[in-house]
């Protein structure tokens, strides 16, 4: 049976509940072609356990199945479309904003359940991190923070245009990138972080010289430490 084409609504979320009280939430967005359960499994394989952040729910949404231009229109679980994988490419902003609205519903659901937005962090790997940038710096500047792993913002992104109008109150950023990344080049990731920093974003950046376009054990451990500090629950 063919998988349904769903260019808007999220397919499902994998949720990991905390062992103790639920006082905070982390939303982790997968990269292109993956799923929420897929990236959670990847983390479990590397760490031999889930991410561990005290009193914090982990939410791993799955992007809709939609035509993806870099794959000649083939269907893939991607957060948004893009013309090509390059810093200078124009953003397909309509599809970005649809994804922001859908993932934003998770943020609102968490807030409605009693989790303060300043106890919510959103981030992701590759395209997931890119969407997290849009969510955090355009639509939800009152969250606790954002993380970006092997990710990017396009050179003339609307994010930069909108952040220029904001004087303070921008969520802090944890970013990490592999020095041997062949897909989202290291310099692209660095330029993204430097641009945000120049606009007033408090940043923590880690380079992993031997890492390709992938997650790493030390990277995830540093992320856990940062999340625990930012959420402080």
The whole-number pLDDT of residue 8 equals: 61
Tokens linked to 60: 């791993």
The question of whether 76 is a catalytic residue gets the answer: no
Please report, to the nearest 10 degrees, the dihedral formed by the alpha carbons of residues 202, 207, 213, 214 taken in order.
-90
Q: 125 with 220: CB under 8 angstroms? A: no
- Read off the pTM: 0.94
Q: Which of 13, 97, 191, 213 is catalytic?
A: 213
- May I ask the CATH class of domain 13-231? alpha beta
Q: Which of 126, 148, 151, 157 is catalytic?
A: 126
Tokens linked to 232: 């402080």
The whole-number pLDDT of residue 5 equals: 45
For the chain, the domains span 13-231
Distance from C-alpha of 233 to C-alpha of 228, rounded to nearest angstrom: 7
∠ Cα 184 74 94 (to 5°):
70
With residue 103 as reference, give the H or E element that holds it.
Answer: helix 93-112
∠ Cα 155 213 32 (to 5°):
70
The question of whether 97 is a catalytic residue gets the answer: no
The question of whether 126 is a catalytic residue gets the answer: yes
| pLDDT by residue, tens only, the chain of 233 residues | 344 444 566 768 999 999 999 999 999 999 999 999 999 999 999 999 999 999 999 999 999 998 999 899 999 999 999 988 889 999 999 999 999 999 999 999 999 999 999 999 999 999 999 999 999 999 999 999 999 999 999 999 999 999 998 877 899 999 999 999 999 999 999 999 999 999 999 999 999 999 999 999 999 999 999 999 999 99
Q: Which of 30, 32, 177, 181 is catalytic?
A: 181
Looking at 90-172, which runs of residues are DSSP E strands? 120-125, 145-149
Phi, psi values for residue 77, rounded to 5° = -80, 95
């Amino acid at each position: 049976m063919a998988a349904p084409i769903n260019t808007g609504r999220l397919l499902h979320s994998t949720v990991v509940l905390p062992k103790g009280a639920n006082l905070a939430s982390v939303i982790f967005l997968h990269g292109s072609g993956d799923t929420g359960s897929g990236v959670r499994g990847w983390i479990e394989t590397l760490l031999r356990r889930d991410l561990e952040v005290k009193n914090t729910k982990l939410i791993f949404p799955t992007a809709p199945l939609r035509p993806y231009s870099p794959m000649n229109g083939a269907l893939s679980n991607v957060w948004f479309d893009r013309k090509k994988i390059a810093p200078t490419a124009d953003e397909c902003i309509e599809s970005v904003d649809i994804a922001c609205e859908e993932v934003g519903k998770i943020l609102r659901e968490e807030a409605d359940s009693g989790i303060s937005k300043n106890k919510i962090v959103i981030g992701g790997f590759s395209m997931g991190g890119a969407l997290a940038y849009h969510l955090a710096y355009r639509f939800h500047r009152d969250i606790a923070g954002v993380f970006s792993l092997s990710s990017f913002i396009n050179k003339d992104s609307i994010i930069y245009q909108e952040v220029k109008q904001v004087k303070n109150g921008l969520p802090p950023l944890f970013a990490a990138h592999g020095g041997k990344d062949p897909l989202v080049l290291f310099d692209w990731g660095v330029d993204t972080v430097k641009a945000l920093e120049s606009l007033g974003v408090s940043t923590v950046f880690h380079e992993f010289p031997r890492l390709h376009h992938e997650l790493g054990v030390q990277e995830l451990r540093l992320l856990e430490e940062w999340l625990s500090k930012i959420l402080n629950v």
